[in-house]
A and B are shown apart, each in its own frame.
Chain A
Amino acid sequence: MQEKTVNHKAWFLVLPVLALVAFSAVIPLMTVVNYSVQDSFGNNQFFWAGLEWFREMLSEERMWNALGRQMAFSAIILAIEVPLGIFVALNMPKSGFWASFCLVVMSLPLLVPWNVVGTIWQIFGRVDIGLLGYTLDALGVNYNYTQDFISAWATLIVMDVWHWTSLVALLAYAGLQSIPDAYYQAAKIDQASRWKVFRYIELPKMMGVLMIAILLRFMDSFMIYTEPFVVTGGGPGNATTFLSIDLVKMALGQFDLGPAAAFSIMYFLVILAISWVFYTVMTNLDKREGK
């Protein structure tokens, strides 16, 4: 067997990326770590506070509540978007004009910028002028996302589903397209039911792309800021104050840099841990398939 050539000089090609990441992520993150152990009263004057902010954040309910809401939001949208996306992908035409048509229509919501999505739904849901809000009101449904907890959550969830189910569907569709016809023919010969074809052929073959879809949707929804900020602003009360909204309130609204820095480090650690789990599962799936 021929040995692969190993040339460590190739690592130098990564240097530009490293420099870019250093400026955009590593140096700001280091600054956040520095802020998290100090107190500031503005004017760039800092006083040592040690682990005080971490202690305060861990013992206060504020962060835990935001984390709870965030987890609930991510869980709900994943539970809807993933099965719905798979269902859509399974029912999309496999080839021809309608396949292309579906692909284009499906990708439209993905092209809309976050703040525009927020504005669309903010107007769409208004009881006085919005189509959705007005219709629901006319039907006698008590819907008002600025005052009612359930309406606010429902609006945000439906908005996210509208915006991002296409991504799951497109990825699942790509996974489905890569399954050779021979598998389906074999299933036909064995008289496999529709469910069994899905369970033993389509689902395993889609697993890789589905994991990517879940990872992307989880991370995006876990860091969601713009849409809820535009639609509900974190309200009514604190009902839709997710982690990033709470963080911005703390850091920029109240200018509590120390506590906000401690908060963001813990937020970052949670995202890092969950992303690592997903990444590990994904790479291990790939390896198992490769064998």
Chain B
Amino acid sequence: MEWMAWTWPTAIFFMVIAGLLITFSILAIKFPETPRKGVLQIETTRGDRLFITLLGSAFINLAWLGIVGAHQPYAMLVCLAYAAAVFRWV
């Protein structure tokens, strides 16, 4: 595994994503749901909303890095607010 040049922060990053995927898979099996329509007028399930959240969070972090350029952890607060909005309204 040395060739993959692992670091702790990236390992934690992937563990969080893997954890989220596993959690949402278990949720989808234990508590099946019907897709719903939100503000985007598209049918979404919990998994879709997770995908929108993760992808959007990546762009929020990049935008923060490019525009603000400092205090990167605060971008995560924006991401959390964004996640809450996605899960509530999308």
Q: How many residues of B contact A (CB 8 A)?
A: 22
Q: Does A194 make an interface contact (CB < 8 A)?
A: no
Chain A proximity mask over B1-31: 1 for CB below 8 Å, otherwise 0? 0111111011001100000000000000100
Q: Is the CB of B55 within 8 A of A266?
A: no
With contacts A58-B66, A269-B58 taken as known, whether A34 is within 8 angstroms of B10 at the C-beta atoms is yes
Q: Is the CB of B62 within 8 A of A58?
A: yes
List residues of chain B with CB within 8 A of the CB of A284: 42-43
**Nearest-CB residue, chain B, relative to A265:** B58
Q: Does B51 make an interface contact (CB < 8 A)?
A: yes
Within 8 A of A (CB), among B53-70: 55, 58-59, 62, 65-66, 69
Q: Is the CB of B5 within 8 A of A34?
A: yes
List residues of chain A with CB within 8 A of the CB of B4: 27, 30-31, 34
The 3 closest A-B pairs by CB, nearest first: A58-B66, A34-B5, A31-B4
Residue numbers of A with Cβ under 8 A of B are: 8, 27, 30-31, 33-35, 37-38, 40, 44, 46, 48, 51, 54-55, 58-59, 266, 269, 272-273, 276, 280, 284, 287
Contact sample, A vs B, 28 pairs, CB 8 Å cutoff: A8-B29, A27-B4, A30-B4, A30-B10, A31-B4, A31-B5, A33-B10, A33-B13, A34-B4, A34-B5, A34-B6, A34-B7, A35-B5, A37-B10, A46-B7, A48-B7, A54-B62, A55-B65, A55-B69, A58-B62, A58-B66, A269-B55, A269-B58, A269-B62, A273-B59, A276-B51, A284-B42, A287-B43
